[in-house]
Amino acid sequence: MTDSVIMNLCKKSDVPKDGGFKVEKGEFSLAVFQVNGEFFVLDDLCTHGPGSLSQGYLDEYIIECDFHAGCFDVRNGEVTAPPCMVPARTFKVVFDPEDVVIKVPQSSSTE
């Protein structure tokens, strides 16, 4: 069983509807997305290059990186378009009425 830490990222109102928002917390640089009232969190750095996913173009659940136009599904981090080949790391969002809160595996906080 993996222990996890709860991390409060931002107010839900900070994240634009059908858009992204960058959050830096400690060693983490994260992209928070709101799609149809749901919140999703991925590493902000694209797995292909120095692009920022939070600054990309969001179309429904697909985020297009602002660097080389590779795409990921914000729900699971899976690659949906090249040149990206490595999925983006995602984080489980925990319900909170006002804030975006995630679970971070203990091993992630020490890597």
| Tally of CB atoms within 10 A around 59 | 11
Answer yes or no: is 110 within a domain: no
Residue 109 included in any domain = no
Would residue 81 count as lying in a domain? Answer: yes
Q: Structural domain tally of the chain?
A: 1
Q: Is residue 111 part of a domain?
A: no
Domain-embedded: residue 11: yes
Residue 9 maps to a domain: yes
**13 located within any domain:** yes
Residue-number span of the structural domain to which 88 is assigned: 4-102
Residue count of the chain: 111
pLDDT digits over 8-63, tens only?
Answer: 999 999 999 999 999 999 899 999 999 999 999 999 999 998 899 999 999 999 99
| φ, ψ (nearest 5 deg) of residue 23 | -130, 130
pTM of this structure: 0.91
- CATH classification of the domain holding 66: 2.102.10.10
pLDDT in tens, 81-91: 999 999 999 99
Residue 72 phi, psi (nearest 5): -135, 150
Task: Count H helices and E strands in the chain, helices first.
Answer: 0, 10
Contacts of 96 (CB under 8 A, 6+ apart): 8
